Amino acid sequence: MVVIVRSAGAAGTAGAAGAAPDSGDVFDVIIIGAGPAGLSAGLNLVRARRRVLMLDSNRPRHSATLMSHGFLTRDGVSPLELRRLGREEFESYPEASFHQALVSSIDRVAVPPVGEGAASAGQYAPHVESLFVVHSTGIRGSADRVATARTVLIATGLLETLPALPSIRAYYGTSLHSCTECDGYEKSDAPLALIGESPDLAERALLLSQWSNDLIVFTNGVAELSTHDEAALGARGIGVERRRIADIEGDREGMTGVSLDDGTVVLRSGGFIRPIYTTALDYHGMLGLETSADKLLVVDAHGRTSCTGVFAAGDSTPPGAQQLIVAAGEGARVAAAINRHLIGLL
């Protein structure tokens, strides 16, 4: 008999409650998230002859942008094209399965002792004591699914909240960006705005000055920027605007400025936003996974979380938001660790 060990708060299975479990099928790995971290891990795992199910809700964080930069051999590629290529490579292997669904919970299930139940422990690997049952809700017409695996890789990335300005979304990904390494080059020497409400704006402004010195930091009347920081920025010619922002101004060509509550419009042709990041899953509710102060999944150098058999890679792990190629590299590294874990070497 299989024993369900639900973690505290893991009752969020309602979305997939009606779904019948996959009949007796146990995957080597279930990967949650088909961004660069998940896809890269998936490719490496199927090439290690691991049976992999990838579950993805099709909400990539960078869908707002038309071109992504800095990925070796793919500089300037559309992010959707990069995902399409990655998924095509993954699915070209017979060991690969892909299902479009939103994961709502993971339960840990004790492997039945040898002789009890249909399967022997040896079927799962001698040292594997738990299996993981992943509940997901189908999206865009795909079915709900409950699937079981010997390991789980969480590669769900981050969700981001932009400052609450009426038109900000219209310019995000074209005139306004969040990743300086990704989009700074295209903004070289342009009159830029840095908009944010978090305490790290001064550091971000110094970084951004590598690409343009015509820079104004907008705190929206919220971000705490010390007079010491303001003086340090001033010494580099970076301005600080502390008044509240009314909206982003622009036309069909793109952003033209930042309008303030008092009617002033500060001319800017583009810039960078500091979003507030949140995670895509309730990790505490799932198996009580350990998270950092900023709620990212704590992992060791192999991508192991605090729950044996559950791994994580990409933006959902510290230090958080990075780049496509970094997430893909992490996915490959963690895939090797999962394979070693399944053999009993890790």
Ligand X SMILES: Cc1cc2nc3c(=O)[nH]c(=O)nc-3n(C[C@H](O)[C@H](O)[C@H](O)COP(=O)(O)OP(=O)(O)OC[C@H]3O[C@@H](n4cnc5c(N)ncnc54)[C@H](O)[C@@H]3O)c2cc1C
Binding site for ligand X (CB under 6 A): 32-38, 55-62, 64-65, 68-71, 102-103, 155-157, 173, 177-179, 182-183, 280-281, 314-315, 321-325, 327
Of residues 59 and 333, the one with the C-beta less far from ligand X: 59
Of residues 216 and 312, the one with the C-beta less far from ligand X: 312
**For 45, which DSSP code?**
H
CA–CA distances in Å: residue 2 to residues 111, 131, 240? 7, 10, 61
Instruction: Please report how close the Cβ of residue 75 comes to ligand X at its closest, in angstroms.
Output: 9
Enumerate residues 6+ apart whose C-beta is below 8 A from 269. 175, 190, 191, 192, 254, 255, 256
DSSP string, 218-247: E-TTTS---HHHHHHHHHTT-EEE-SPEEE
Of residues 82 and 342, the one with the C-beta less far from ligand X: 82
Instruction: Please report how close the Cβ of residue 242 comes to ligand X at its closest, in angstroms.
Output: 26
CA nearest to 12, candidates 189, 191, 136: 136
Instruction: Please report how close the Cβ of residue 170 comes to ligand X at its closest, in angstroms.
Output: 13
Instruction: Please report how close the Cβ of residue 214 comes to ligand X at its closest, in angstroms.
Output: 22
Of residues 230 and 282, the one with the C-beta less far from ligand X: 282
Instruction: Please report how close the Cβ of residue 234 comes to ligand X at its closest, in angstroms.
Output: 29
Q: Give me the count of residues in the chain.
A: 346
Enumerate residues 6+ apart whose C-beta is below 8 A from 200. 274
Instruction: Please report how close the Cβ of residue 128 comes to ligand X at its closest, in angstroms.
Output: 24
Instruction: Report helix, strand or coil for 15.
Output: helix
Of residues 233 and 334, the one with the C-beta less far from ligand X: 334
Give the H/E segment covering residue 255. Answer: strand 254-260
β-strand pairing of 96-110 with 3-5: antiparallel
CA nearest to 31, candidates 18, 50, 48, 13: 50
Of residues 279 and 339, the one with the C-beta less far from ligand X: 279
The amino acid at 286: M
